[in-house]
Chain A
């Protein structure tokens, strides 16, 4: 059983993790289904089918989701495995013990999460911060991806093709700090206390826990065989087996099956509980009472570490604003960038802000690296969410719809290339008095050159000089003009976001002109 769980986890985790850092675009886009079956993306995107499937899975087999599908869960198992916590022969200090759940925190966070999920149009910040999938992705995008890019650049030095040098433009400080705090917090907790995060902080864990305590198949202890030796408890990374009372807290069990082969008496089994429901409920009532007694005896050390954990979390959170003060204040944004430019397919700023949980998968996959995670410049509700930032020849490619194809949340709805080319995400605003044609009296036209829709045209100004003119009805807001404009620090042409994306017509085709040329002309 355990082998099957491990195989499933590896088979699902490895491609997901690789796809999260696949900046070279080597993997097929279809792998994004691994993200789509994650619980929070499914909830946010209202994917009823996936939600039902996950609920059914949990009602059948318990929190298998947490053990094989959730990347943050598997990440913790990897850390835990490396720390050898709870392994046989790993010394007394490295063993798990039974502890009571920190219920008040667990249910409070679940409540906050659900509130945020329901009121996502007001603020989904709690969903953004608590979603285990998004947290894993942010670690992958902001911590693991730069390492992978470093390795890539090293390989490029050695072998040249097929590697090519990459300069990362999409690392922003807030996301890195938060991902780092999560990495350390979850990493250390996982190394010391197994799945404590999943059973205390994670709202998906708590939600599935409500179902898993009624799961059809559950790990159960056959009391007639149990010798109360405690081996199972020492191996249980959910810290949910109380060997003294032979009780297992099914709401916290992530069905990792580690306990099964730890039992020398084969007293533990993964059993169909349907037949014994009546008996089981009576049993449960009894064990709860017994557990209370047990807790009273052991509560002191457990509380202590729990207290440290809570204190550590609060301290970590408290450092965030402090870090903000240490960091250099960001430059005052240009008047054209007060509203974030959201990717084509996101339809409107409101829709995007309500549905994006800042997983930043699109940040990794944008071939132009123009999707940048925001800090607090657009308010707390836009924290970690990507917005378009144009720079040196990097703008939204006219022939690309990749972000819309991989977004698991429906924050960027899937759109075709054709739809993308007729969606106006913003409008270029030309600042005549800054343009080099005016200030220097020389040819330029870089903006017009880069415009894929002829929305920026060069029109006669004086002598042979021509000046850009914006035809807003053709502009899609791709930023080609802004990216290449040579005027610094403030560009002479800037895209101003559309809070609600607008449809535009494709430029009309002109009539073909038949031209016969039979001479060289010189």
Chain B
């Protein structure tokens, strides 16, 4: 009985998501009008992850502005490494849990969480605490370790990356949230919201061999934009990223940066990072490339930013 129900649900969910794909864009387009009154970016400091998320979402018009009743949601944290939360290699599990809960409160039909990990995926899901936190509030935690989960999509606006194999869960979802952690990164200099896109694709080696900074910007041109970029800066990895060597590489900032504008979110995050370790925006080439591709602005002084201190 249970199994039958499960199949039914899966099939219906699939059908619904296929139908509402167009609606999503309509909804996203429509909400821009409402958002005129809401800030372009919200930055929160001084609270616990769940508390800061609640404040940020409230300032941005509530999660209901992004997740409609019955919609399926994918949350894409950074779960790249087999590391505990204290080491700041993966997104904060409490933040992910709180976002799952918020989506369900807004009436989401299903919330799924995945990442194409670098270390063994089961170990990453376990050690990061994200699997436990997400499952505890009813999310589905999906594998992303096999090519069969991915489908090729065109990226007409990409410069070097013209197609990419993207995880089907995110293709099928009505809404998705990009939830990176703020980290230093040996190869890409910084790993924030734009770099987090690499976890939705299968063939990452292409990125590395074809101008990493450009391909990171290219993948962000995918037409299905995240509803919000939620940058976890509760703990940041100030050096030896993206894995970190020890707990000494992590610094507690108790902060959160949320914006629809992915370039702005990353720019703000780098500015925050600079208070701990030096890192020029120019070094993080994907920011400039992204701006050129009209993904957003790095001139964040011109934006309406709401800063909240708790």
Contact = CB atoms under 8 A, between A and B. Distances in A.
A519 B43 CA distance: 11
B268 interface: yes
Contacts of A328: none
B83 to A, nearest CB: 9
Nearest to B185: A449
A175 B307 CA distance: 63
A461 to B, nearest CB: 13
A160 B9 CA distance: 12
Contact of A517 (B122, B245, B275): B275
Interface of A is mostly: loop
B86 interface: no
A397 B119 CA distance: 7
A446 interface: yes
Given A368-B120, A522-B300, A510 B272 contact: no
Question: Among B205, B271, B300, which residue has the most Cβ atoms of chain A within 10 A?
Answer: B205
Contacts of A458: 186-187
Interface string A115-156: 000000000000000000000000000000000000001000
B187 A448 contact: yes
A445 B208 CA distance: 8
B293 to A, nearest CB: 17
A519 B251 CA distance: 14
Contacts of A309: none
A453 B140 CA distance: 32
B251 A161 contact: no
A457 B188 CA distance: 13
A522 B3 contact: no
A161 B142 contact: yes
Contact of B305 (A164, A454, A522): A522
Interface string B181-195: 000011111000000
Given A520-B272, A522-B305, A167 B255 contact: no
A396 to B, nearest CB: 10
Nearest to B122: A367
Contacts of A454: 240, 245
Interface string B223-255: 000000000000000101011011010010101
Contacts of A452: 243
A280 to B, nearest CB: 59
A507 B274 CA distance: 26
A392 B205 contact: yes
A165 B243 CA distance: 27
A440 B248 CA distance: 34
A522 B245 CA distance: 28
Interface in B108-138: 118-120, 122-123, 127
Given A452-B243, A486-B206, A159 B213 contact: no
Contacts of A445: 185-188, 208, 212
Contacts of B148: 153, 165, 167
A27 B59 CA distance: 48
A332 interface: no
Given A443-B189, A446-B208, A520-B45, A165 B251 contact: no
Given A399-B123, A511-B248, A520-B307, A167 B43 contact: no
B271 A443 contact: no
A512 interface: yes
Nearest to A458: B186
B211 A515 contact: no
A289 interface: no
Nearest to B212: A443
Given A165-B143, A515-B251, A367 B120 contact: yes
Given A486-B208, A507-B246, 14 more contacts: A160-B10, A164-B146, A165-B146, A392-B205, A436-B208, A444-B187, A445-B186, A449-B187, A452-B243, A453-B245, A466-B186, A486-B207, A515-B238, A521-B271
Interface of B: 3, 6-7, 10, 43, 45, 82, 118-120, 122-123, 127, 140, 142-143, 145-149, 185-189, 204-214, 238, 240, 242-243, 245-246, 248, 251, 253, 255, 267-268, 271-276, 282-283, 285, 300-301, 305, 307
6 contacts: A161-B142, A367-B120, A454-B245, A464-B285, A486-B207, A507-B245
